[in-house]
Each structure stands twice: as C-alpha cells, then as structure tokens.
Chains A and B, each alone.
Chain A
Amino acid sequence: MTLAPPRPDVGRARTTGPDSEPLAEPNASAPRPPAPPPEHYQRYHIDTRHMPDRADLPTRFRVEVNRFELAKLLFKEIREYWGDWDVVLSRPCVYGVFSGPVGGFAPRPHLCVGCLRCTIQHPEAVTIRRNPQWQAWGDEYLKPAMVETLQQEAALGAVPVKGQGYRGRMGGPGWDGIWTDMSEIVRPTRDGIHGRETISTVVDLGAKPMYLRFDAAGMPAGETPAVSQVQLPMVLDMPPVHAMTPTIAAIWAATAHDLQTLALLPLRVMREEGLSGSQLVPVVGPGLGDPAGLAELARAPRMVEITDAALADEVRAAAPAAQVALRLPFAPGWRDALLGAIAQGLRVIHLTADYHGRGDGAFIRDLVIEAHTLLVEQGLRDQVTLIGGGGVVMAEHVPKAIICGLDAVSLDTPLLLALQFQPDGSMESRETARFVAPPGLEGDTDWGVQRLKNLCCAWRDQLLEILGAMGIREVRRLRGELGRAMFQEDLQREAFGGIDGFGD
C-alpha cells in the first residue's frame, strides 16, 4: 500500500511542513542533520513490500475429502457428461484447492478461504471445518482472528478489506465498545480522491510550555519547548524479556529509523549491542541499565525513559540533551505519581497497562480517559505528552486510544506476532510472556524490519481512514476528542433506556 507520490509543488510550498522535516533533535547542542533542500521534499511514505511468512502456521480451515465418495462422483460425472470435458473437469473450488496434480484426492487446504461452495455442492464428498489449531492461536486477549489480521498486515502492508458486512460481536468491553464519528460532508482537504493523502500523522513528544518567558535582554528564559517529532503516533515498546535477542534489538532499531519514530530498548541491551541513535530511547532502571551507562552510548539519545522518577536527575546529568520520560505503570497510586512527576518537571509520561490492557482494576481505555481528564482538570494537559501502551493490539485501537487522551501509543505484542512469534501460554506482561520464535529469524534483520514496516504502514493507513472519515487533518487534533467517539454504554442507555428489562 502506498501513498500518493511526492509532488514537487507541495515541496516548494511547504518546505518546513511537519511531513517534510527530518527528526528534530531536542536541543541545539546535539548534532542536527542538515535540512533537506526544498526540491528534495518527500511526503512521508512507508515502503512496503510483500514479505511472506517464515513460520508454517496452521491453515484456517481443514478440507476433509471422502475419497471413496469423490471417486464415485467422478465416475458418475464422466459417464453422465462424456464428451463435455469442460463439465467433467469443472471444479467447485475457484481458489485452486482441488487443482493440484491429483485434484480433490490431495486438496491444498492452505488455499481454502472457507467459501463452502464445495461442501454445499458435494456434501457427501467434502467437509470444511474450522481448524482447531488455528483457533488456538494467540491467547484469551489476542484472539485468533486478530493474530491472522496482524500476520496479513505484516506480510502485505495493506489495509485488510473484505466483502460483506461486519461478522463479529456487537461492541463489547474495552476498545470494542467505542465507535468513532464520521462526517457526511466534510473531508480533510481537497486533494486526492478522499482527501486522505495530506493528512498528517506527525506527533510531538516532549515539553510544550504554555507560553514563553523572556529575560531583560529579550532572550527566552525558563522552560522552552523541547519536543521531538515522530512521523507516527506509534512507538515501539521494549520487547518482552523472553523475546529479547540481538536480532530483535537490531530489528527494533532499524524499524524505528526507517519509520522515523522511536524504539525503546533497555540501555543494557543497547550497550551490549553497540546501538545508539536519535531514534532509540534507552530505558533506564533496575535490570535495564544504569544512568551512568548513558554516557557510553556512541550517539546521545534524544529521549531517555526511566522507570523511577527518582532517577531523573541522574539521567539529566548523564544525558543533558535528552528529554526524560517516565514509565509509569497503571498500578495503585498512579494518579499521585503522575501529578508528582509533572511537578518534578517530567514532561513525557509513558503509561503502561499489562499486555491484556489491565491495570489498577480497570481497562486501559478507561485509565487513559481518567489520566487525560485529570490533567485537563489540573490545567496541565497541553504541557505534557502522554504515551500509552498495553492492550493496543489492533489498528483501530490506535485512534481509539488517542481519542481517549494519548498523544501516542507504544506497541508491544503485535510486533512480536507480526514477526510470527508464537505465544507459549498467555501473554500477560513483559516479564512473564513467553514465545516460540519463528525458524531462521536470528540474523535475518531485513525480514523482520520489513514485516514491522508493513504492519505499521497498514496501521497508519487505517488511522488515515478513521481521520479521513472524521474530516480531521492531523492526528494531533484527535487527542482527547471524546466528543468524536461514541461509547456503547451511552448509546445503549439512550436507545434502550426506557425498554423493560434494561438495567435490571
């Protein structure tokens, strides 16, 4: 899936537009890449390429052929349609399941799309069943259909499109209980078919003071803006402990670079693997790395994440140019910790739930709304960047999480699933989740990078669908727009509130 090709006139008109800028460095003392000349303007674009599966995954359907009945059928048809060879040789399957060298006697279930024509037509000879191995994919949160969607997105980089209407449950808990708004007559721009081509997905991460102060000499005084722009409202969170390998670290780093976003890695791993760069966010804390190690990175990071607010000063001393972000789990006491961190001068907060989106007795959706609302009420929201993660596993969860109040989301398990890691048991937390790696992944960084780029492109394109439908021109304006979301509990109460039995 590609976006519109770059247009020279756009480059001349908007040489410093958000899409055209390279990654901004957090302050002037850090090296700044040269700004591209106007004629080199490129609309933000993710290169996608078909990247086939590496693991031999279960097929969705089982094709069971009764060979005796099939032989009888063939015999009958040969006799009945002798001479009409197109009729004799016609197959019920238009997807090639029975088009191998020996036809239906050796069906090819990997091609089966479950249309059921063969079994409607020849019930005595063919039965199509859902494959229990396919149904066992994922865990109780990441359902098999989600895993399949992630794998397809990672393989193709395209928006999943299917015929006929929606097939799933109506609404549900968590993200499924939100519908996004749309507009009948508004579109984001006059460009392109749907006006989507110029929607910006750039977000700013960092400190955004509400106003500037100047000293007597007219120079800025006090807090100045210190933001990093990323091209996607998605950053790559630290891989699970039991999936962390040198190859995975390299894939994270290269993907973040190509996507012009950020990847979080334990500082310890970055040092061991010799990784550094403006797209990498070293995470510092017990078991992850010591702040003093920041000085040993070949290139200074523009952001460092800490797991304890008490580490902030040490990190500022070791990496003075870096923005300091606090990783704050949604655990009891998080509200006070959030306000305390902001009072302490921290301006990027990374809120985390577990891999099933749980934290402090609630689902991440409601926790994010609460965090966002708390900061709005305190008059702090526009000064702070909220990144959030845990339970964000489908493309639609990204805009929904942003509507609930995040500036950007951090991705965790979907990245592993895109790389065809098979969960080994329930994936509940970074520390405990276990996986079986796909064969031959170690050392093949290119495959992994392309799979993750494909996934992020598919997710970005789906984000554009949502933004385009709403008539919103940049993702920054989606943040906290709760009025553009419809919550099932509200809709249901309004629609069914007076009906007997409702609320019993």
Chain B
Amino acid sequence: MASATEIKAASPTLVAKVTHYLHDGYRDRSAGVIEEPPALGDARWTDQLILSGWYMAEHGHSPEFREHRTGASGGGFDRLRFKFERDALFAADAAGAEAESARAAVDMSLVLNRRDTARKLTIKVPWYGGGMSFGSVSENVMVSRARAAKAWGTLTCTGEGGYPAGLNPYADHVITQVATGLFGVREETIQAAPIVEFKYAQGAKPGLGGHLLGDKSTTSVAQIRESVPWVSLFSPFPFHSVYSVEDHKKHIDWARTINPDALISVKVSTPTDVDMVAVGSYYAGAHIIHLDGSYGGTGAAPEIAKKNIAMPIEYAIPRVHKHLEKEGIRDQVTLIASGGIRTAFDVAKSIALGADGCVLGTSELVAMGCTRCSNCERGRGCPFGLTTTDPELQEWVQPDWGAMRLGNMYAAFDRQLREICRRCDLPSIAALRGRTDLLRFVAEGE
C-alpha cells in the first residue's frame, strides 16, 4: 500500500522540463510536424480524433487536414452525417465576412431551467463539463475545468468526491454532485451550487457504484471525502434510500430545502425503460434529465459494464425525446446527453436527435493531453497528470495551461456548431433540436 511519505512532489525545474516536452509534443504531433504516434487511437477515439482534440486545444479551431468529426466505431454517431457534409473534410472556417457574421449571429445559448421553480439559468454554449471527482482527477484538473467553464459562461461538475477549496472562486459555475456514496456532500456545497446533480447511475458502469482505488485516496482526498486515507472507496449502487419515484422526490425535496434556488439535475443511465425513468424524474421535480450513455466515462470501470450494459446514448436520446413529447412535457424539461460525446459534430447530432445539450468528459481530458491509453487506475495514475492524485504527476497539468487548452477547445466547438447552424440555416442551436430531417444515415466507411 502506498503512503503519503513515499511520494515526492516534483521540483519546479522538473515540472518545467516535463511540461515543456509534453506541450511541444502535443503541438508538433497534432500539427503533423512530426509523425503521428503509430500506436495511438482506437475505434471510438481514432488517432485522428485525438490529434484533432490536441490541435483544437492548441489553436482554437479545428484542423481541416484531419478527420475531426467522427470516429470509426461503425455505428451511432459515426454512421450519421449532416446532409450538407459532402466534402471529405469540413471547413468550419468558410471564408468571407458574410459567413463570419452569419456564424456570429447564431444564438448558442442553452436554457437549463424550463420550469417555474428555482433560479433561471441559461448557459452560453450547449454543453457543460461532466462530473469528475477529486481523487479520480487532481485538483489542478478540476480548477482548469472550472476556469474554462467560467470563461465560457458554462458549468463544470464536482463528481462524487467533494469540493476542493480551489473551486470556491468558481462556485457559480460548479455543479455539486450527490451520488450514492455521498462522499464530500455538505450543506455548504449544496447551498453554493447553481445545480445539484443527483447521480443515480453512470453510463460507464451502469448498475455499479463508483470505485476509487486505495492508491488514489490520498490524505487530502480522504479528508474531503471524510474517509480513511489509502483505503479503497466503493460507492454503493444504487441510493440505499431510494426504491421508488416517491423516494426520489424526497431526495429532490431535501436538496431544495437546503437550496431552493438550485436547479435539480437527475443523471441516469440508459436502461430499456429510460423513457419512463425520464418522465418519473420530471414529475419528481427535476429541471434537467441527464442521460449518460454506456460508451463514455472517464473513471475506471469493469470492461464488461462499459461495453455491454445499457444502451448507447445515440439510441437513448430519440427514445426519451419522443416520449417526453408524447407526454406533453418536452418543453418543461432540459434533456442533456453524455457518455460518448467526442466532437462538436457529436454535440450537434445529439441535439438533432432530440437533446437540448451535452455534457463533455473525455474530450476535455483529451484536450489536456489524454492519449486514451486506459491506464488511469494503474499504479500512480495517469502519466500525463490527469487522472491522478500523485503529487509529482499531477503537476504536469497546471490550471493556467489546462484552462487555456479547454478554452481553445471550446472555441473550436463553438465555431463548428455555429457553422453547422449556418449551413442548416438555423438561427440558434436550440432550433436544431429534433431535426433528424437534417441528418442522413450513411454506409459504414462513407
């Protein structure tokens, strides 16, 4: 078992050396200055998508020389195209002042509260950051995300691991997550939150609770979680106090008693009856139904759960959207999709399938240097300083740099989404919702 004394923090010189090498590496590899790493990428996140993520995080716009829109998974988003997409690559930067002003005129805002209760809340872009707990990622990563969220008028989420002090200056942009282990949940953090997110399930491990390995449960992590350092932490599945939609309503009432002004988001996975779950959550008082599909997730999870339990988000969105419409409540609830949203095009396709907006997770880590190697839980954690609490490794991501990378990626996403709306002749991203007529289904490889 590891102990705090065995791990030394990195010296400033070492931090400077490693970050210098890494930053150059991300830049040169993604720009094509040096060879693409031959072992990079997989079917969902191809080498081109990862390198595009690094490129956008460096430059603030998409690389026109790479396939940055879709992966090669052979299904879902990767078989959908917007009808206007004919070229092999998509030029988001259609030249000309007219195109520029048309893009600028597109309303990108996302209304999060469509009910009469709680505060009115609209974010400036149709996405926000998903929950990544302190412990699963470092405080530096959390602060990077919070800074970018603030700069872009959107939100990020604590995940189930409490609220490190570094987030306090960004409280208006930080969602407090309440998950089954209740780790780090305190009245103050609920009172400070614009949104309280109840995580019933998560797409990467539907039906399973969270799991933080002992090696990552450092003294500071344990302190915030009010647990014992270096001991593995399991979150139960599901909430031990919820057996019905009535129990779920009690949960919501409890949060609203503490903070009547907070919006309530209910994060659920995608079972066969996901449409009924969404309706139940709405009637229990939720403002946001957050569907987390089975192919995403940034934490460690059993491979069997990631691949096989619950449906991919592409299939869940239209099912829930149509069911909410049938129930006559579609315009009183905000439908958010996550779990496999990799690119701006995935965001746009999700909205065209019926979501109002998306939650990003892995794409944010990719922007900060993730290679999708899947070693997050191994040894000291992420060797790039992302999913780690190792005092040395976490220094590879400094909040200034991380926020800059995320801000650039957001800028690239924003620009692409505006261009998609312009090409579809839509005045706002909200007008794209449910417009499956703008999509076409393509043969694999097309």
Residues of chain A touching chain B, judged by Cβ–Cβ distance below 8 Å, are 61, 77, 81, 84, 86-87, 90, 92-95, 113-117, 119-123, 127-130, 149, 159-172, 176, 178-187, 190, 193-195, 395-396, 400, 462, 465-466, 468-470, 483-484, 486, 488, 491-492, 494-496, 498-502, 504
Residues A167 and B44 in contact in the complex (CB < 8 Å), given A127-B38, A396-B308: yes
A495 contacts across to B, CB distance below 8 A = 314-315, 317-319, 353
**CB atoms of A115 and B373 under 8 A apart:** yes
Nearest 8 Cβ contacts at the A-B interface: A469-B207, A163-B376, A170-B75, A120-B25, A182-B207, A167-B42, A501-B441, A502-B441
B370 contacts across to A, CB distance below 8 A = 164
**CB atoms of B309 and A182 under 8 A apart:** yes
**CB atoms of B375 and A167 under 8 A apart:** no
The answer to whether the Cβ of B96 comes within 8 Å of any Cβ in the partner chain is: no
Give B361's nearest chain A residue, CB to CB.
A165
| A18 CA to B309 CA, complexed, in Å | 27
A116 contacts across to B, CB distance below 8 A = 37, 39-40, 371, 373
Residues A468 and B208 in contact in the complex (CB < 8 Å), given A84-B11, A123-B28: yes
The answer to whether the Cβ of B239 comes within 8 Å of any Cβ in the partner chain is: yes
Contact code string B271-309 (vs A, CB < 8 Å = 1, else 0):
110000100000000000000001111111111111111
| A238 CA to B366 CA, complexed, in Å | 47
**CB atoms of B272 and A486 under 8 A apart:** yes
Chain A: minimal CB distance from B339 (Å): 8
B304 contacts across to A, CB distance below 8 A = 159-160, 395-396, 462, 465-466
The answer to whether the Cβ of B442 comes within 8 Å of any Cβ in the partner chain is: yes
**CB atoms of A170 and B308 under 8 A apart:** no
The answer to whether the Cβ of B432 comes within 8 Å of any Cβ in the partner chain is: no
A87 contacts across to B, CB distance below 8 A = 11, 13-14, 17
Of B76-84, B102-110, B253-261, which stretch is located at the interface?
A: B76-84
Known: A180-B308, A193-B237. 5 other contacts (CB 8 A): A114-B375, A164-B372, A182-B207, A184-B268, A184-B269
A498 contacts across to B, CB distance below 8 A = 436
Per the 8 Å Cβ criterion, residues 409-446 of B in contact with A are 436-437, 439-442
**CB atoms of B272 and A81 under 8 A apart:** no
The answer to whether the Cβ of B57 comes within 8 Å of any Cβ in the partner chain is: no
Q: Which of A81, A122, A395, A491 has most chain B Cβ within 10 Å?
A: A491
Residues A94 and B379 in contact in the complex (CB < 8 Å), given A129-B39, A162-B303: yes
| A303 CA to B288 CA, complexed, in Å | 57
**CB atoms of B305 and A469 under 8 A apart:** yes
Q: List 13 A-B contacts (CB under 8 A).
A: A119-B37, A120-B26, A127-B37, A162-B377, A164-B297, A164-B298, A170-B73, A179-B312, A180-B310, A184-B201, A396-B308, A494-B315, A501-B440
Per the 8 Å Cβ criterion, residues 120-143 of B in contact with A are none
A491 contacts across to B, CB distance below 8 A = 311-312, 315
Per the 8 Å Cβ criterion, residues 35-50 of B in contact with A are 35, 37-40, 42-45
Chain B: minimal CB distance from A227 (Å): 29
Residues A166 and B295 in contact in the complex (CB < 8 Å), given A90-B18, A123-B35, A495-B314: yes
**CB atoms of B310 and A179 under 8 A apart:** yes
B402 contacts across to A, CB distance below 8 A = none
**CB atoms of B319 and A90 under 8 A apart:** no
Say which residue of A149, A162, A186 sits within 8 Å of B374 (CB atoms). Answer: A162
Residues A165 and B362 in contact in the complex (CB < 8 Å), given A119-B37, A194-B237: yes
Chain B: minimal CB distance from A463 (Å): 9
A119 contacts across to B, CB distance below 8 A = 25, 37
The answer to whether the Cβ of B164 comes within 8 Å of any Cβ in the partner chain is: no
Give B207's nearest chain A residue, CB to CB.
A469
Chain A: minimal CB distance from B435 (Å): 11
The answer to whether the Cβ of B230 comes within 8 Å of any Cβ in the partner chain is: no
Chain A: minimal CB distance from B45 (Å): 7
Give B38's nearest chain A residue, CB to CB.
A129
- Tally A-B pairs: CB < 8 A: 286
Chain B: minimal CB distance from A466 (Å): 7
A400 contacts across to B, CB distance below 8 A = 308
**CB atoms of B83 and A469 under 8 A apart:** no
Of B85-93, B149-157, B166-174, B242-250, which stretch is located at the interface?
A: B242-250
**CB atoms of A95 and B76 under 8 A apart:** no
Q: Is the interface of A mostly helix, strand, loop or mixed?
A: loop
| A265 CA to B142 CA, complexed, in Å | 57
Residues A165 and B310 in contact in the complex (CB < 8 Å), given A170-B295, A182-B271: no
Chain A: minimal CB distance from B195 (Å): 19
Residues of chain B touching chain A, judged by Cβ–Cβ distance below 8 Å, are 11, 13-14, 17-18, 21-22, 25-26, 28-29, 34-35, 37-40, 42-45, 73-76, 78-80, 83, 200-201, 204, 206-209, 211, 234, 236-240, 242-244, 247-248, 268-269, 271-272, 277, 294-312, 314-315, 317-319, 339-340, 353, 362, 365, 369-380, 382-384, 387, 393, 436-437, 439-442
B34 contacts across to A, CB distance below 8 A = 123
| A171 CA to B307 CA, complexed, in Å | 9
Chain A: minimal CB distance from B27 (Å): 10
Say which residue of A115, A120, A160, A180 sits within 8 Å of B303 (CB atoms). Answer: A160
Residues A167 and B207 in contact in the complex (CB < 8 Å), given A84-B13, A127-B38, A494-B319: no
**CB atoms of A396 and B14 under 8 A apart:** no
| A163 CA to B378 CA, complexed, in Å | 8
A90 contacts across to B, CB distance below 8 A = 14, 17-18
Chain A: minimal CB distance from B324 (Å): 15
Chain B: minimal CB distance from A181 (Å): 5
Give A182's nearest chain B residue, CB to CB.
B207
Chain A: minimal CB distance from B280 (Å): 9
**CB atoms of B311 and A486 under 8 A apart:** yes
B240 contacts across to A, CB distance below 8 A = 190
Give A194's nearest chain B residue, CB to CB.
B237
B22 contacts across to A, CB distance below 8 A = 117, 120-121
| A123 CA to B242 CA, complexed, in Å | 52
A163 contacts across to B, CB distance below 8 A = 298-300, 374-378, 382, 387
Residues A168 and B43 in contact in the complex (CB < 8 Å), given A81-B17, A182-B309, A462-B304: yes
Chain B: minimal CB distance from A74 (Å): 13
**CB atoms of A117 and B384 under 8 A apart:** yes
**CB atoms of A181 and B271 under 8 A apart:** yes
Q: Which of B79, B206, B237, B442 has most chain A Cβ within 10 Å?
A: B237
| A496 CA to B29 CA, complexed, in Å | 36
**CB atoms of A162 and B301 under 8 A apart:** yes
A128 contacts across to B, CB distance below 8 A = 37-39
Residues A501 and B302 in contact in the complex (CB < 8 Å), given A114-B373, A115-B375, A194-B208: no
| A183 CA to B238 CA, complexed, in Å | 9
Give B378's nearest chain A residue, CB to CB.
A113
**CB atoms of A470 and B207 under 8 A apart:** yes
Give B300's nearest chain A residue, CB to CB.
A163
Chain A: minimal CB distance from B110 (Å): 22
B314 contacts across to A, CB distance below 8 A = 495
**CB atoms of B207 and A183 under 8 A apart:** yes
A178 contacts across to B, CB distance below 8 A = 308
| A65 CA to B73 CA, complexed, in Å | 32
**CB atoms of A161 and B441 under 8 A apart:** no
| A456 CA to B442 CA, complexed, in Å | 41
| A120 CA to B211 CA, complexed, in Å | 30
A496 contacts across to B, CB distance below 8 A = 79-80, 318, 441
A171 contacts across to B, CB distance below 8 A = 74-75, 312
Q: Which of B14, B207, B277, B384 has most chain A Cβ within 10 Å?
A: B207
**CB atoms of B362 and A121 under 8 A apart:** no
| A93 CA to B371 CA, complexed, in Å | 14
B14 contacts across to A, CB distance below 8 A = 84, 86-87, 90
Residues A169 and B375 in contact in the complex (CB < 8 Å), given A161-B301, A187-B237: no
A77 contacts across to B, CB distance below 8 A = 17
Chain A: minimal CB distance from B73 (Å): 4
Chain A: minimal CB distance from B306 (Å): 4
| A161 CA to B213 CA, complexed, in Å | 11
Chain A: minimal CB distance from B15 (Å): 10
Give A95's nearest chain B residue, CB to CB.
B379
B373 contacts across to A, CB distance below 8 A = 113-116, 164
